[in-house]
């Protein structure tokens, strides 16, 4: 557990945090639509998708792979981590950090920094030699955050729209 500036804490999420994490996760999706529009949010929040997200988050909590940041007991940020999808057995282990979200009212106080640093520790404990994350090219806030934490650009994702 990291305590950045009291009374903010970062901890591995438990099932008690489930409904707060679920709402935060959907706010993250809605926010990311600015860079990666996938259709009206009402359509994304279909019963099938809601169930999928619940299953995804449940499995992350079961595996202790979600961190939460809380201020005065209120959930103000989340992030997840997992081993990357490289299919070969390799001596170098890469883990990925994702789903980084801090509530707008709690930003610029070091909460994402504390979440990422704790994620890095959790990944290291599980054998990671390296952590990676993905960010949209136009997400200036997140780019500023990751640069401030010493992350370098190591790959590009290229895309081409069929119906621009
Ligand atoms: C990006 C985000 C996680 C940052 O959270 P945060 O708790 O405000 O970040 P921190 O307070 O730890 O910021 C640390 C440093 O990162 C940089 N930074 C953070 N937000 C920034 C912004 N909007 N613009 C430029 N730099 C920024 C700054 O260098 C900052 O240090 P400073 O406040 O002393 O200048 C938050 O804005 C957020 O949830 N955004 C929407 C979701 C998102 O984009 N998630 C990332 C997906 S890849």
Ligand 1 mean position to 89 CA, how many Å? 35
Give the model's pLDDT for residue 163. Answer: 83
Pocket of ligand 1 (CB under 6 A): 28, 31, 100-102, 107-113, 135, 139-142, 144-145, 148
Q: Is it the case that residue 6 has pLDDT exceeding 90?
A: no
Report the residue among 35, 112, 133 best suited for mutation to probe ligand 1: largest number of ligand atoms under 8 A from its CB: 112
Q: Is it the case that residue 56 has pLDDT exceeding 90?
A: yes
Q: Is it the case that residue 71 has pLDDT exceeding 70?
A: yes
- H helices within the chain, ranges in order? 18-32, 41-44, 47-62, 111-125, 140-148
Query: Which is more confidently placed, 46 or 163?
Result: 46
Residue 13 and residue 66 in contact, taking contact as beta carbons nearer than 8 Å? yes
Give the model's pLDDT for residue 14. Answer: 98
Q: CA distances (Å), 38 to each of 5, 24, 35, 87, in order?
A: 37, 18, 10, 28
CB atoms within 10 A of CB 62: 10
Q: CA distances (Å), 90 to each of 3, 44, 148, 155, in order?
A: 34, 37, 30, 20
Q: CA distances (Å), 117 to each of 78, 104, 121, in order?
A: 13, 20, 6
Strands 66-71, 74-83: pairing is antiparallel
Q: Is it the case that residue 5 has pLDDT exceeding 60?
A: no
Ligand 1 mean position to 117 CA, how many Å? 14
Q: Average pLDDT for residues 65-89, to the nearest whole number?
A: 97
| Tokens representing residue 95 in the block | 């883990």
Q: Is the pTM of this model over 0.85?
A: yes
Give the model's pLDDT for residue 7. Answer: 86
Domain ranges of the chain: 8-148
Give the model's pLDDT for residue 1. Answer: 57
pLDDT digits 0-9 by tens, 32-49: 999 999 999 999 999 999
Strands 130-132, 8-12: pairing is unpaired
Give the model's pLDDT for residue 3. Answer: 52
pLDDT digits 0-9 by tens, 88-124: 999 999 999 999 999 999 999 999 999 999 999 999 9
Q: Average pLDDT for residues 62-66, to the nearest whole number?
A: 98
Report the residue among 10, 79, 113, 145 best suited for mutation to probe ligand 1: largest number of ligand atoms under 8 A from its CB: 145
Residue nearest to atom 37 of ligand 1 (CA): 141
Distance CA 28, CA 45 (A): 13
Architecture per CATH, domain 8-148, reads as: 3-Layer(aba) Sandwich (3.40)
- The DSSP call for residue 2 is B
Residue nearest to atom 26 of ligand 1 (CA): 144
């Amino acid at each position: 557990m990291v305590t950045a500036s009291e009374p903010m804490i970062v901890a591995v999420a438990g099932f008690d945090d489930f409904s707060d994490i679920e709402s935060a996760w959907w706010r993250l999706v809605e926010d990311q639509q600015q860079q990666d529009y996938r259709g009206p949010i009402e359509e994304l929040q279909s019963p099938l998708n809601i169930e999928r997200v619940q299953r995804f988050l449940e499995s992350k909590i079961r595996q202790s792979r979600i961190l939460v940041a809380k201020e005065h007991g209120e959930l103000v940020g989340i992030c997840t981590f997992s081993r990357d999808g490289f299919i070969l057995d390799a001596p170098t282990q890469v883990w990925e950090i994702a789903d980084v979200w801090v509530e707008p009212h709690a930003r610029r106080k070091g909460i994402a920094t504390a979440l990422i640093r704790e994620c890095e520790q959790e990944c290291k404990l599980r054998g990671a030699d390296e952590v990676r994350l993905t960010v949209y090219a136009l997400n200036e806030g997140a780019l500023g955050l990751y640069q401030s934490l010493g992350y370098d650009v190591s790959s590009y994702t290229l895309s081409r729209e069929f119906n621009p």
